[in-house]
Amino acid sequence: MTKDQIFEFFRRLAEDNPSPETELEYGNAYQLVVAVALSAQATDVGVNKATRALFRVVEMPEQMLELGEEGLKEHIKTIGLFNSKAKNVIALSQLLVDEYGSVVPDTREDLVRLPGVGRKTANVVLNCWFGQETFAVDTHIFRVGNRTGLAKGKTPEQVEAKLEKRVPQPFRLGAHHWLILHGRYLCKARTPECWRCKVVDLCSYRKKVLETPKGR
């Protein structure tokens, strides 16, 4: 894509959804960290179902430590990899209490020190809570970046670097939300719904599905 095409790409997505947000539910920075950590290899819908009851009793890391690992497992046992995720959430809660005064840090370097928090999770927290212009490359963004020609790369890190260079203002803050939602609901892995895509003419994907499948 050219610079003009990239600008138009995001302009249309922004016009369609002016205030994009994560679909994860949370009430504060700590709950956001927990929700994003739990969302690895799981759907936001599944995480939200598990955390609604959890977040009614746990708002801060101290309360998570009081709940304990077994208590946490009872809340999140419907989520994939819940055993290892429970261990990580308890460990990150302990580290927040011990070294950060129970306050979620606002730098990537500190966030990735937390157990279960990788670069993608840190970028989500920095963007959604602290309002930083970060690009959290999940499977949806990786697919959309490569398929459309917006940001091609063989690894999430390469796609992130391309997005960092290519996404213009005023779209940088909301870019990763637009791309995730686009990949989740339109530019799907198996059958991209190109027939109802607002940016189909800007996309370089050669196998566009332009006719509405029967039954749709």
pLDDT of residue 210: 86
The reply to whether 138 belongs to the active site is yes
| pTM attached to this predicted model | 0.91
User: Closest Cα to residue 215, out of 198, 189, 191, 180?
Assistant: 191
Q: Which residue has the tokens 């598990």?
A: 50
φ and ψ of 79, to 5 deg: -95, 140
Q: Is 197 annotated as a binding residue?
A: yes
Q: Is 128 annotated as a binding residue?
A: no
Q: Side chain identity at 162, as an amino acid letter?
A: K
Supply the angle between the helices 29-38 and 119-128 in degrees, to the nearest 10.
Answer: 140
**How far, in Å, are 31, 75, 193, 203 from residue 58 at the CA level?**
8, 11, 39, 44
pLDDT > 90? residue 8: yes
User: Closest Cα to residue 58, out of 91, 81, 36, 35?
Assistant: 35
pLDDT of residue 215: 64
For residue range 99-132, list pLDDT tens digits in order. Answer: 999 999 999 999 999 999 999 999 999 999 999 9
For residue range 125-168, list pLDDT tens digits in order. Answer: 999 999 999 999 999 999 999 999 999 999 999 999 999 999 99
Q: Out of 49, 120, 207, 214, pick the active-site residue.
A: 120
pLDDT of residue 92: 98
pLDDT > 80? residue 206: yes
User: Closest Cα to residue 10, out of 154, 174, 120?
Assistant: 174
Contact 130, 123 (CB under 8 A): no
User: Closest Cα to residue 94, out of 64, 121, 119?
Assistant: 64
Contact 160, 135 (CB under 8 A): yes
Q: Which residue has the tokens 């800007």?
A: 202
The neighbour count for residue 186, using CB atoms within 10 Å, is 17
Average pLDDT of the chain, as a whole number? 95
Tell me how far apart the alpha carbons of residues 193 and 213 are, in angstroms, rounded to a whole number: 9
pLDDT of residue 193: 95
Tell me how far apart the alpha carbons of residues 154 and 32 are, in angstroms, rounded to a whole number: 29
Tell me how far apart the alpha carbons of residues 156 and 137 are, in angstroms, rounded to a whole number: 6
pLDDT of residue 35: 97
The reply to whether 120 belongs to the active site is yes
pLDDT > 70? residue 50: yes
Question: What confidence tier does 214 reach under pLDDT thresholds 50, 70, 90?
Answer: confident
For the segment 56-64, the average pLDDT, to the nearest whole number, is: 97
Q: Out of 77, 87, 110, 138, pick the active-site residue.
A: 138
Tell me how far apart the alpha carbons of residues 133 and 126 are, in angstroms, rounded to a whole number: 8
